[in-house]
Amino acid sequence: MATKIKFNREIDFEYGVCDQVSPLIRRVIANNPGPFTYTGTGTYIVGQGDVAVIDPGPAYPEHIDAILAATKGENITHILITHTHEDHSPGAAPLKAKTGAKTYGFGPHGAGKLEEGVQIEAGGDMGFDPDVTVRHGDIIKGSNWTVECVYTPGHTSNHICFALKEEKALFSGDHIMGWSTSVIGPPDGDMTAYFESLRMLLDRDDEIYWPTHGSPITDPKPFVQSFIDHRNDREIQIIDAISAGCTDIKDMVKRMYADVDVQLHRPAAMSVLAHLQRMVGDGRVKTDSAVTLGASYTLP
């Protein structure tokens, strides 16, 4: 039986309005709703007085103004970026220009793959390069808050979460969202890395996740486990599809995502490709060519 993820798609908010969601966390949601952003980018403001901004989102003037209005009389000292998709990091440049705050992130788009010598196709926010490069386990301190960097590649190779120590809260970016699973799209996305990053979260003691899109996740470990189970189910579906004669990704997607809007079949195909890279790598699936969208796949 396929794993059912208990998504929570309810969220109460108003665009441009800052909501206090916990003692140390505020949120302003950008007006950029869509099939991959849900209601829009949730920008978080952490602390009081001297504050950090996490994922300033798209470079919409009205959203930057809303962040500045929410922090009037305070100092934005840090801008933290989970990853370099267009709905997360472009707002960092205008916000930095207005505040002088330094930007923090794992690196520019594709950083996790470029370090391995893998060239990434153009895409994402190619203009972002953090002032301060952070790595797994690094600590960023403000006047009344402490953030631990938690490297979680998979959705992108430079994806990093930020854990607010004072509240045992994890800003999970797009790694774990409460409203939907994440697209893992090669070459920057990596399914093996994603599995490893999910399993790593099971060993942590975070009590709540604040994703960049959607509502918080208040019971994290069972939720993370359901994501792992869901991905394992997808790999069983791929094997079943190949056994039924679906040897190319297009036919696999038609079979596996028959109940999903066809407009989402393209990103679904990218996730299937990411699964096949992992499955060919560990010998569960074969191909006579490179692992690509157009290749033919068989079982050993």
| pLDDT by 10s per residue, the chain, length 300 | 578 899 999 999 999 999 999 999 999 999 999 999 999 999 999 999 999 999 999 999 999 999 999 999 999 999 999 999 999 999 999 999 999 999 999 999 999 998 777 778 777 999 999 999 999 999 999 999 999 999 999 999 999 999 999 999 999 999 999 999 999 999 999 999 999 999 999 999 999 999 999 999 999 999 999 999 999 999 999 999 999 999 999 999 999 998 888 888 998 999 999 999 999 999 999 998 999 999 999 999
pLDDT of residue 1: 53
CA distance 197 to 220: 14
Instruction: Look up the CATH number of the domain holding residue 195.
Output: 3.60.15.10
pLDDT of residue 261: 86
CA distance 194 to 274: 10
The residue among 166, 196, 226 that closes a domain is: 226
Whether residues 59 and 86 fall in one domain: yes
Whether residues 60 and 184 fall in one domain: yes
Is 272 part of any domain?
A: yes
The residue among 202, 226, 250 that closes a domain is: 226
Whether residues 138 and 272 fall in one domain: no
| Domain span including residue 259 | 231-298
Whether residues 174 and 45 fall in one domain: yes
Q: 279: which 2 tokens? A: 């499955």
CA distance 248 to 274: 14
Is 14 part of any domain?
A: no
Whether residues 262 and 238 fall in one domain: yes
Whether residues 102 and 122 fall in one domain: yes
Whether residues 33 and 74 fall in one domain: yes
pLDDT of residue 117: 76
Is 101 part of any domain?
A: yes
Question: Is there a contact between 126 and 142 (Cβ–Cβ < 8 Å)?
Answer: no
Is 4 part of any domain?
A: no
Cα atoms in the Cβ-side hemisphere of radius 13 Å centred on 218: 4
Is 196 part of any domain?
A: yes
pLDDT of residue 148: 98
Whether residues 27 and 86 fall in one domain: yes
Is 7 part of any domain?
A: no
Q: How many domains does the chain have?
A: 2
Instruction: Look up the CATH number of the domain holding residue 278.
Output: 1.10.10
Is 92 part of any domain?
A: yes
Whether residues 66 and 119 fall in one domain: yes
User: In Å, how far from its chain's centre is CA 60?
Assistant: 20
Counting beta carbons within 10 angstroms of the beta carbon of residue 261, is it exposed (0 to 12), middle (13 to 18) or buried (19 or more)?
exposed
The residue among 171, 197, 226 that closes a domain is: 226
DSSP string of the chain? --------------TT--EEEETTEEEEE-S--BTTTBT--EEEEESSSEEEEE---S--HHHHHHHHHHTTTSEEEEEE-S--STTTSTTHHHHHHHH-PEEEES-STTHHHHTTTPPPPS-S-TT---SEE--TT-EEE-SS-EEEEEE--SSSTT-EEEEEGGGTEEEEETTS-SSSPPP--TTT--HHHHHHHHHHHHTS---EEEESSSS-BSSHHHHHHHHHHHHHHHHHHHHHHHHTT--SHHHHHHHHTTTS-GGGHHHHHHHHHHHHHHHHHTTSSEESS-S-TT--EE--
Whether residues 177 and 44 fall in one domain: yes
- Please tell me the pTM assigned to this model: 0.95
Residue 123: which of 171, 189, 61 has the closest Cα?
Answer: 189
Whether residues 85 and 29 fall in one domain: yes
Non-local (6+) Cβ contacts of 189 within 8 A are 154, 155, 156, 157, 183, 270, 274
Is 10 part of any domain?
A: no
Whether residues 235 and 267 fall in one domain: yes
